[in-house]
């Protein structure tokens, strides 16, 4: 109460006392009634290799046999399978979504195994953001699929975490509440288990991986939560079967040497995990909202939205949208101008190319004509020369003939016929 008073005073409010009963002390009851009517929703993501006991554990946690087909070891990539169920306990409705990895750790190259999981978690944030930004939105009836808790199954090797475990948890620890669990914990001895738990926690710390810690600041749950934090990572055992123990049917695993009871806290931590989830469900959801807030902030900042503009002035969403619209229009205009200039340039280049081609096409006709004329002229010259030679020869012949004829006539005059 003193916290509330202090808060109100800081906000500029005065605290007054009522002179008589008004009735607003029923507000919490109204909230309870509303919540019961609306129901609750909780989303679990189970990450772990095929056959580590994810399905058996979820069935054991919620005391329900969820139908699910066993998955194969031969998938080429990791996938996620989501199933939603409606459960009811007393008058409380719980819409439970269980998302399980399929094919996790089954590939030769495991380096990218975590990527589809990160994408899935982000996709649920994105879907919620889209709903939130709609003009006509219905967040109250919207099926919120954001992951509230991630149960990360560690193989009961008794040695250390694998690279794939470290990589996956590190890529998710800023997006989701991670609770590490040791699957099939009945296959590891009691002393080995304690050592293994310590080793896992120190490896997580040395690799800077943040896992979910139950809150200890609420005095109603601080004690149980600080004890529960000490059990991390939970050593879980699950079973789809019920075994007759005494005159009761109990969820258990029966072996030739004895029975492992899922709900026995001396045998495993499954009940501790269930209790922890139930006590802290609202806290897990609050923390999920905080993860969502940072996703939302990053997305909106990337889109150019901000609350404070230049000169530290606050910016309304309408201003942001208007600025973005103007920026977009200018960008479109710039792009259009660029495309037009490019088009004009290309038309010019094409025209120049055509002109050149036309010139080249007409050039061979001219050359041929000129060539023929030249040939003709050359032929004419040659014939002219030959003609002159013949004429010279003819003149010489005529002269010679005349000389010969005159000398013959002189001979006949000087020697008369006897």
> Under the rule (CB under 6 A), what is the footprint of ligand GDP?
48, 50-56, 70-71, 184, 186-187, 237-238, 253
Report the C-alpha dihedral over residues 284, 285, 287, 292, rounded to 10 degrees. 140
Please state, in angstroms and rounded to a whole number, the distance separating the CA atoms of residues 217 and 288.
18
* Span between the terminal Cα atoms of the chain, in Å: 186
Count of C-beta atoms within a 10 Å radius of residue 12:
6
Q: Which is nearer to ligand GDP, 178 or 252 (CB)?
A: 252
Q: In whole angstroms, how close is the CB of 240 to ligand GDP at the nearest point?
A: 6
Q: Shortest Cβ distance from residue 143 to ligand GDP (Å)? A: 24
Identify which of 149, 150, 153 has the alpha carbon closest to the alpha carbon of residue 53: 153
Q: At which residue do the structure tokens 């006539």 appear?
A: 409
Name which of 176 and 236 has its Cβ closer to ligand GDP. Answer: 236
* Residues 295/129, Cβ–Cβ less than 8 Å: yes
Rank residues 145 and 187 by Cβ distance to ligand GDP and give the closer one.
Answer: 187
* Whole-angstrom distance, CA of residue 72 vs CA of residue 51: 9
In terms of CB distance, is 71 or 97 closer to ligand GDP?
71
Taking the C-alpha atoms of residue 352 and residue 358, their distance in angstroms, rounded to an integer, is 10
Name the minimum Å distance from CB 215 to ligand GDP.
28
CB of 244 to ligand GDP, least distance (A): 18
In whole angstroms, the minimum distance from the beta carbon of 338 to ligand GDP comes to 55
Strand spans (E) along 246-362: 248-255, 258-261
In the complex, least distance from residue 188 CB atom to ligand GDP, rounded to whole angstroms: 10
Q: Using CB atoms, what's the residue nearest to ligand GDP? A: 53
Whether the ω angle into residue 353 lies within 30 degrees of 0, i.e. cis, is no
Nearer to ligand GDP, 166 or 188 (CB): 188
Q: Which is nearer to ligand GDP, 233 or 238 (CB)?
A: 238
Decide whether 214 or 252 has the Cβ nearer to ligand GDP: 252
CB of 213 to ligand GDP, least distance (A): 25
Residue among 173 and 186 whose Cβ is closer to ligand GDP: 186
Q: What is the DSSP letter of 314?
A: B
Minimum Å distance from CB 228 to ligand GDP? 20
Q: Are 231 and 218 in contact (CB under 8 A)?
A: no
**Residue (188 or 214) nearer to ligand GDP, CB:** 188
CA dihedral 176, 177, 182, 184 (to 10 degrees): -70
Q: Residue 387: CA atoms inside 13 Å, Cβ hemisphere, count?
A: 6
Angle at 410 between CA 407 and CA 412, to 5 degrees: 115
To ligand GDP, the closest distance from the beta carbon of 276 in angstroms equals 18
Distance CA 415, CA 418 (A): 8
Nearest approach in angstroms of CB 48 to ligand GDP is 6
Which one, 30 or 72, has the nearer CB to ligand GDP?
Answer: 72
Cα(235)–Cα(201) distance, integer angstroms: 13
For the chain, helix, strand, coil in percent to 5 are 55, 15, 30
The arrangement of strands across the sheet holding 234-235 comes to 79-89, 92-102, 40-47, 149-154, 178-182, 234-235
């Amino acid at each position: 109460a003193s916290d509330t008073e202090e808060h109100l005073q800081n906000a500029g409010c005065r605290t007054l006392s009522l002179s008589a009963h008004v009735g607003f002390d029923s507000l919490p009851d109204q909230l309870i009634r509303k919540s019961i009517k609306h129901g609750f929703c909780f989303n679990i993501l189970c990450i772990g290799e095929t056959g580590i006991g994810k399905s058996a554990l979820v069935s054991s946690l919620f005391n329900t046999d969820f139908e699910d087909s066993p998955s194969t070891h031969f998938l080429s990539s990791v996938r996620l399978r989501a199933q939603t169920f409606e459960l009811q306990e007393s008058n409380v409705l719980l819409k439970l979504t269980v998302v399980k990895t399929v094919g996790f750790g089954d590939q030769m190259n495991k380096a990218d195994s975590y990527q589809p999981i990160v994408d899935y978690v982000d996709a649920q944030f994105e879907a919620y953001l889209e709903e939130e930004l709609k003009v006509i939105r219905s967040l109250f009836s919207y099926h919120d699929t954001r992951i509230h808790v991630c149960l990360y199954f560690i193989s009961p090797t008794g040695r250390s975490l694998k690279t794939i475990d470290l990589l996956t948890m590190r890529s998710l620890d800023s997006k989701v509440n991670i609770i590490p669990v040791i699957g099939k914990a009945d296959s590891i001895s009691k002393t080995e288990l304690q050592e293994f738990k310590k080793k896992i926690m120190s490896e997580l710390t040395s690799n800077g991986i943040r896992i979910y810690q139950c809150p200890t600041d609420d005095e109603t749950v601080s004690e149980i939560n600080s004890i529960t934090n000490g059990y991390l990572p939970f050593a879980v055992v699950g079973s789809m079967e019920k075994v007759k123990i005494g005159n009761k049917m109990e969820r258990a695993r029966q072996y030739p040497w004895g029975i492992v009871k899922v709900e026995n806290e001396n045998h495993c931590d499954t009940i501790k995990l269930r209790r922890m989830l139930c006590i802290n469900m609202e806290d897990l959801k609050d923390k999920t909202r905080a993860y969502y807030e940072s996703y939302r902030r990053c997305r909106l900042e990337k889109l150019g939205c901000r609350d404070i503009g230049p000169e530290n002035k606050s910016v309304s969403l309408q201003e942001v949208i208007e600025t973005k619209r103007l920026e977009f229009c200018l960008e479109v205009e710039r792009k259009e101008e660029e495309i037009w200039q490019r088009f004009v340039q290309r038309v010019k280049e094409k025209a120049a190319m055509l002109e050149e081609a036309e010139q080249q096409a007409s050039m061979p006709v001219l050359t041929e004509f000129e060539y023929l004329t030249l040939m003709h002229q050359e032929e004419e010259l040659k014939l002219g020369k030959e003609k002159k030679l013949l004429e010279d020869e003819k003149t010489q012949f005529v002269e010679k003939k005349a000389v010969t004829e005159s000398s013959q006539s002189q001979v006949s005059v000087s020697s008369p016929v006897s």
